[in-house]
Copies of this chain bind each other. A is one copy, B any other.
Amino acid sequence: MTRLKLVLAYDGRPYAGWQVQPGKDTVQSVVEEALTRILKGRQVRIHGSGRTDTGVHALGQVAHFDVPDGIHMPAAIWRRSLNAYLPLGIRVMDCAVAAPGFHSRIDAVGKTYRYRLFMGEVLPPLEAGIATHHPKPLDDQKLAEACAALEGTHNFAGFAAFRGNEDGTEDTVRTLRSVRPVWEGDFLTITWHGTGFLYKMVRLLTAAVLRVGAGREPLSWLTDLLHRQVPGKCQHVAPADGLYLVGVDYPESTIAPHDTDDSRPASR
């Protein structure tokens, strides 16, 4: 059995997020439909590294699926075939044979997200839905301090939404390896790199650092929530528009040592 690892990029605007939902267009369902067309009706489930919400974009979402027995096609041809059937707003950027047992979610050891903000007065039309409009003055120094305070290993329970039962048993400790704000003209991009992220964590943290940067809250408001000095949660969440899943990190061994492009002459 061959397991393929896909790197997917998508424009999140038309989709109700990654995960299959009845009656809704989702990225996962559109990719699975393309696979079914290639496989002339056979159903295949793909597994993503994690969900992305409605309207969230991806530059490097990772997913895997198992090629049904009896189908022999090089990874490069899978990529081209999928791109031929997918809409232009979803692209397979890379496709490779995965190491045996590779799992896109379980094996992930890190993720990078990016949050893009436009600070000018009028949001340019081509930025609608792919940058968040934030035409409010920000103190660069305060914002940088808030970002730096979040780096490291913390209990992010104050910056997480919960999908199901909130019984306190979910492990909410995560490590943020870096939180980097970069200004470029009227754009501010905050890049979040960590071991993993809780549900809506990037959007809650982005809203929080923006509130500190705008002087609406002191840094201590953020650090008190972060160090669980106070109960409760951040009540602000940044919109999906500006959020991108940039990439997912795996140990080096996740790609099969001989990436089996069957079209190359075999030397077995």
**Chain A residues engaging chain B, CB cutoff 8 angstroms:** 9-11, 57, 59, 83, 88-93, 122-126, 128-130
Q: How far is the CA of A89 from the CA of B125 in the complex (A)?
A: 4
Q: Do residues A128 and B83 form an inter-chain contact, with CB atoms below 8 A?
A: no
**Residues in B neighbouring A9, C-beta threshold 8 A:** 124-126
> Given that A83-B122, A122-B83 are known contacts, is A128 also in contact with B92, CB under 8 Å in the complex?
no
List 5 extra interface pairs beyond A11-B128, A88-B125, CB under 8 A. A9-B126, A57-B125, A91-B123, A92-B122, A93-B124
Q: How far is the CA of A130 from the CA of B124 in the complex (A)?
A: 13
Q: Do residues B88 and A123 form an inter-chain contact, with CB atoms below 8 A?
A: yes
Q: How far is the CA of A91 from the CA of B11 in the complex (A)?
A: 21
**Residues in B neighbouring A11, C-beta threshold 8 A:** 125-126, 128
**Residues in B neighbouring A57, C-beta threshold 8 A:** 125-126
**Residues in B neighbouring A129, C-beta threshold 8 A:** 88
Q: Do residues B124 and A91 form an inter-chain contact, with CB atoms below 8 A?
A: yes
Q: How far is the CA of A88 from the CA of B127 in the complex (A)?
A: 9
Least CB distance from A27 to B in Å reads 10
Q: Do residues A10 and B91 form an inter-chain contact, with CB atoms below 8 A?
A: no
Q: Do residues A126 and B130 form an inter-chain contact, with CB atoms below 8 A?
A: yes
**Residues in B neighbouring A130, C-beta threshold 8 A:** 126
Q: How far is the CA of A7 from the CA of B92 in the complex (A)?
A: 38
Q: Do residues A10 and B125 form an inter-chain contact, with CB atoms below 8 A?
A: yes
Q: How far is the CA of A10 from the CA of B83 in the complex (A)?
A: 28
Q: How far is the CA of A128 from the CA of B128 in the complex (A)?
A: 14
Least CB distance from A36 to B in Å reads 21
Query: Can you give 14 A-B contacts (C-beta < 8 A)?
Result: A9-B124, A9-B125, A9-B126, A11-B125, A11-B128, A57-B126, A88-B123, A88-B128, A88-B129, A91-B122, A91-B123, A92-B122, A93-B122, A93-B124
**Residues in B neighbouring A90, C-beta threshold 8 A:** 125
Least CB distance from A201 to B in Å reads 23
Q: How far is the CA of A130 from the CA of B126 in the complex (A)?
A: 8
Least CB distance from A119 to B in Å reads 15
**Residues in B neighbouring A126, C-beta threshold 8 A:** 9, 11, 57, 130
**Residue from A57, A124, A126, A129 with most neighbouring chain B CB atoms (10 Å):** A126
Least CB distance from A236 to B in Å reads 22
